[in-house]
C-alpha cells in the first residue's frame, strides 16, 4: 500500500510543484490551541506537517523553538498527548502526512515498541529524530521502518560525499537538508548554495529532498523551492504564534489565524517557484 508520504510527493510531482512543509511545536501554547493550529495548516496550504515533540534539552533548536517546547511542557504537554494530538487531527484529515520531530530521550522513556505501535495507530507517517546518527539505527530507525513509519534523516552542509551514503542508508520518505550550519532560526538560507547541495544529494538518492532552517519569508521559500522538492518553515511560524500570545503566554483570539495567515503567504511563495519556472 502506498504511504501517505509517497502519495503526497507523487501528487506534487504530477502538479509540478514543491512541497510546503510546516513545523509547529505540539502543545504550544496549549494542547487545545495546538490542535486547532494543526487542523488549520492544510487549509492554509501545508502539504506536510512536522509536529515537534516537546523536550527540555533540545540540541538543534534555536531560542524560538526552545521556548515553544517549554511553553508546551508548562501547559502539560507530554509525548502521549502529542500522539493524541495526531489522533484527533486524523478525525478530520486522512491525507496530510504527519511527521514527529524531536529527540530520542522521550521515546526511550516511553518505550520504543510501545511508541511505534501508538504512533502508527495514531496516524503518524514519519519520524525525524535529531540526535540518533546512522550508527544507532538499531535503536529506533530499523524498528520504525519495520513498523511502517518513514525515518527521515538530516543532511547538512558538513555532510560530505563520504558520509552521505551512511546518512541515506535507511532513510525513507524524504531527505531533510539543513541549509545552514547552526541551530534553527540562526541565519537565512542561501538559495544558490542550497541548489548545489540538493543536486549533490540527488546524485546519491532518488528520494525527495526538502530544505529547512533559515526560511522565514515567502520570497525565501520561493527561492528555495525552485531548487528543492520541498521547503520547510518552522521558526517563522513559531515566532508568529509567540507574537499572538498575551503577557502570560496564553492563546488569544488571534493565535490560530496568525499561524494560518503566515502559512498561507509562505505556501504562495512555494507555489510561486513553479509558476516562475514555467
Question: Which tens digits make up the pLDDT trace of 197-242?
Answer: 999 999 999 999 999 988 899 999 999 999 999 999 999 999 999 9
Residue 275's pLDDT band (boundaries 50, 70, 90)? Answer: very low
What the block records as the C-alpha cell of 3 is 504511504
Residue among 30, 47, 61, 239 flagged as catalytic: 61
Q: Which of 68-77, 140-149, 171-180 has the lowest mean pLDDT?
A: 171-180
- Model's pTM, two decimal places? 0.94
Residue among 28, 30, 47, 50 flagged as catalytic: 50
The answer to whether the beta carbons of residues 95 and 125 sit under 8 Å apart is no
The answer to whether the beta carbons of residues 212 and 23 sit under 8 Å apart is yes
Residue-averaged pLDDT of the chain:
93
Residue 193's pLDDT band (boundaries 50, 70, 90)? Answer: confident
CA distances from 102 to 50, 52, 91, 107, 182 (A): 10, 6, 24, 9, 16
Q: Which of 24-28, 189-193, 206-210 has the lowest mean pLDDT?
A: 189-193
Distance (Å, rounded) from C-alpha 153 to C-alpha 174?
Answer: 8
How many of the other CB atoms lie within 10 Å of CB of 82? 26
Active site residue 50: yes
pLDDT surpassing 60 at residue 75: yes
pLDDT surpassing 90 at residue 267: yes
Query: Mean pLDDT over residues 31-46, rounded?
Result: 98
Q: What is the pLDDT of residue 1?
A: 41
pLDDT surpassing 70 at residue 119: yes
Q: Name the phi and psi angles at 158, rounded to 5.
A: -95, 5
Query: Mean pLDDT over residues 85-114, rounded?
Result: 97
Amino acid at each position: 500500500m502506498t504511504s501517505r508520504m509517497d502519495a503526497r510527493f507523487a501528487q506534487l510531482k504530477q502538479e509540478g510543484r514543491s512541497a510546503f512543509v510546516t513545523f509547529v511545536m505540539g502543545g504550544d501554547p496549549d494542547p487545545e490551541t495546538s490542535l486547532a493550529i494543526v487542523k488549520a495548516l492544510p487549509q492554509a496550504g501545508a502539504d506536510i506537517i512536522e509536529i515537534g515533540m516537546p523536550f527540555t534539552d533540545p540540541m538543534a533548536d534555536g531560542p524560538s523553538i526552545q521556548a515553544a517546547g517549554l511553553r508546551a511542557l508548562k501547559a502539560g504537554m507530554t509525548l502521549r498527548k502529542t500522539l493524541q494530538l495526531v489522533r484527533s487531527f486524523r478525525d478530520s484529515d486522512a491525507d496530510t502526512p504527519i511527521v514527529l520531530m524531536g529527540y530520542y530521550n522521550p521515546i526511550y522513556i516511553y518505550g520504543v515498541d510501545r511508541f511505534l505501535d501508538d504512533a502508527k495507530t495514531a496516524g503518524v507517517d514519519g519520524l525525524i529524530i535529531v540526535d540518533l546518527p546512522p550508527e544507532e539505527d538499531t535503536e529506533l530507525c530499523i524498528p520504525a521502518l519495520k513498523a511502517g513509519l518513514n525515518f527521515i534523516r538530516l543532511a547538512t552542509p558538513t555532510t560530505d560525499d563520504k558520509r552521505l551514503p551512511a546518512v541515506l542508508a535507511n532513510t525513507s520518505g524524504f531527505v531533510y537538508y539543513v541549509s545552514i550550519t547552526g541551530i534553527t532560526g540562526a541565519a537565512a538560507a542561501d538559495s544558490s548554495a542550497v541548489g548545489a547541495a540538493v543536486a549533490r544529494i540527488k546524485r546519491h538518492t532518488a528520494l525527495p529532498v526538502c530544505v529547512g532552517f533559515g526560511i522565514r519569508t515567502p520570497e525565501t521559500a520561493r527561492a528555495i523551492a525552485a531548487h528543492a522538492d520541498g521547503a520547510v518553515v518552522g521558526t517563522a511560524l513559531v515566532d508568529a504564534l509567540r507574537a499572538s500570545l498575551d503577557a502570560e503566554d496564553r492563546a488569544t483570539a488571534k493565535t490560530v489565524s496568525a499561524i494560518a495567515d503566515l502559512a498561507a503567504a509562505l505556501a504562495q511563495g512555494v507555489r510561486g517557484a513553479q509558476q516562475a519556472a514555467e
